[in-house]
A and B are shown apart, each in its own frame.
Chain A
Amino acid sequence: MVFARQRKQADTKNRKQKNWYLTIGIVLTACMLIFITVGFFWTPYKPSALSAADREAAPSLRHLFGCDQMGRDVFSRTLEGAGSTLTIALAVLAVGAVCGLVIGALCGYYGGRLDALIMRLCDAVAAFPSVLLALVVLAVTGPGKYNVIGALGVLFIPSFARLVRGEFLKYRDRDFVQSARLMGVGDLRIIFVHILPNIWPVLLSGLTIGFNNAVLAEASMSYLGIGVSPTEPSLGYMLKDAQGVFFTLPWCTAFPAAVAILLILGMGMVGEGIRERMGVAS
């Protein structure tokens, strides 16, 4: 969960590519979102419904993505799995970004001892092997969606906090901030109204990277079998489940893997597009 410190690019030759990235990224992400949104309301079969007759069925018109060892429809399960992966990733991102923003903003703006202390704490959390922290949190709280969100969310705070803090450090002594201060504007107002809009592009691109990291983290965790329930599948758990039958039931691996990759790819390209556009804009 390290944010690549991207240099802003002033190179005008990139202007064409930026549109290309953003367009493809948005189209891809939109397709995935539509796919997943449909899954929230409708799936061709109940994702958990077992069927002895359809066990190990290959992909066909009846079962677009085939069936797994227990006769469950892989298409329906992929829809549901992608849905829960997306929900978890977004929620993790929300926890990490909101807490990280507040902490980073306050630390960056005020500085001082509290800043040093909180940054140390962030370092400590970041130095903790992520899987371990998640394991420990989940061992305390027990498995379940919300607990996974909490565990991963905490892990995402330090990187956001550091990103935001760095930006605030850059802006807090700028002329427009100082003049606002001279005019008697309150600190909170300066933080949220005057400085925040300036760091928005950086934050946005951080969010796209964070989103991808969240999807990856969630998938890795459920692949390791941590904090998931097989009755509400996620993409990672489906992959783990299907790995043993990779050759005989390849569809059980291929489709969830493809969905996970496309989801990350789309968002990654959106982020890239945003970065390039912002490089030109500034």
Chain B
Amino acid sequence: MGKALLKRAGLLIGTLLLVSVLAFVAFSVIPGDPTGSVLGMEATDEQIAAFRARMGLDLPVWQRYWNWLTAFVTGDFGQSFKFDMPVSELVFTRAQATLVLAAAAFILIVVISLPLGLIAARRQGGIVDRVVTVLTQVTMSVPNFIMGIGLMYLFALVLKWFRPEYVPLKDGLGAHLRYMLLPALAVALPKSAMTVKLLRGSILGELGQDYIRTAYSKGSSRGSVLRRHVLRNAMIPVVTFLAMAIGDIMAGSIVIEQVFSIPGLGRILISSIGTRDYPVVQAIVVLLAGVVVLCNFLADLLYRVMDPRIDGR
């Protein structure tokens, strides 16, 4: 198992390298140049040439990539063209916002879906189960930005329970989390619906297995069977799903950040692509891809731990 893991870790780094190459190549072919937004519309050709030379934009792509990579490995993410400050400084507060949002969404998913999935499975066919089933189906069908707009307008403008002004972490953790609750909910709800559904199906699937019948025949109650036997096995696909969903949660956060005006990675990513601020884009792409790849890796790991039957490939 150790060897297999090592191999996977190697693949992980390879994947990240591939992502960074893809991003670099993509940006060397798209039209547009960062000079316009930095120097103003009426910059002279000399000013532009000087700027390009200073930022190393006049070098060939492979050389720029090599320079970037060697610096990146040592922790130097470069300098933002547009904001004229180190990328790391620019990206980290934003990464914090996005990570808090994604983490909050993730926790909400777990908190909402586990009890619901359980109860729906336990009361299978009952009123509660039916209500949950219909609700999950409907919630799954609402695009997350529509959910976000709906929540925002309802709570901020109609009920006025929510002040639509972003509170950064430095103004207090409590206030920060309070602001993040609504956007996190918008990201979490559709995914929660899917998780509820998956968990319910998975529990019901396990309940049909032979070993459960054995457990019942030994006189265990339904509750104890659920707790002691079913849950552990039923959780395997759910955990995998949740870990794989982190990529989706990150992508969802990017859209929801726009709705709630959160200065997170999504906003600066989109605007930096717009202003062709490559160092910023490059850093964010690798960062996001890193998180996603890492989560998939962890899911894989967790999968192995939870289900000893899986080995090798």
Contact = CB atoms under 8 A, between A and B. Distances in A.
Contacts of B186: none
B146 A260 contact: yes
Contact of B205 (A2, A7, A220, A246): A7
B162 interface: no
A272 B137 CA distance: 9
Contacts of A212: 141
B194 A4 contact: yes
Interface stretch (A88-96, A123-131, A184-192): A123-131
Contacts of A64: none
Given A2-B248, A128-B285, A129-B288, A9 B201 contact: yes
Contacts of B198: 4, 6
Interface stretch (A69-77, A195-203, A262-270): A262-270
A193 interface: no
A8 interface: yes
A5 B247 contact: no
Given A11-B205, A268-B141, 19 more contacts: A2-B245, A2-B247, A9-B201, A10-B205, A10-B208, A13-B125, A123-B11, A124-B19, A126-B247, A132-B273, A137-B26, A139-B31, A139-B32, A220-B143, A220-B145, A223-B258, A224-B258, A257-B146, A269-B137
A128 B19 contact: yes
A159 to B, nearest CB: 10
A127 B141 contact: no
Contacts of A5: 237, 240-241
A128 B125 CA distance: 41
Interface residues of B, number: 61
Interface size class of A (residues with CB under 8 A): 35 or more
B127 interface: no
A33 interface: no
A180 interface: no
Interface of B: 11, 14-16, 18-19, 22-23, 26-27, 29-32, 124-125, 133, 137-138, 140-146, 149, 153, 157, 194, 197-198, 201-202, 204-205, 207-208, 237, 240-241, 244-245, 247-248, 250-251, 254-255, 258, 266, 269-270, 273, 281, 285, 288-289, 292-293, 296
Contacts of A11: 204-205, 207-208
10 contacts: A7-B201, A8-B205, A10-B205, A127-B292, A127-B296, A140-B29, A140-B30, A261-B141, A264-B142, A265-B141
A9 B251 contact: no
Nearest to B256: A220
A136 interface: yes
Contact of A127 (B15, B149, B204): B15
Interface in A129-146: 129-132, 135-137, 139-140
Given A129-B288, A246-B153, A260-B143, A1 B273 contact: no
A69 B85 CA distance: 42
Given A139-B30, A260-B143, A260-B146, A223 B205 contact: no
Contact of B255 (A124, A224, A243, A262): A224
Nearest to B291: A127
A129 B289 contact: yes
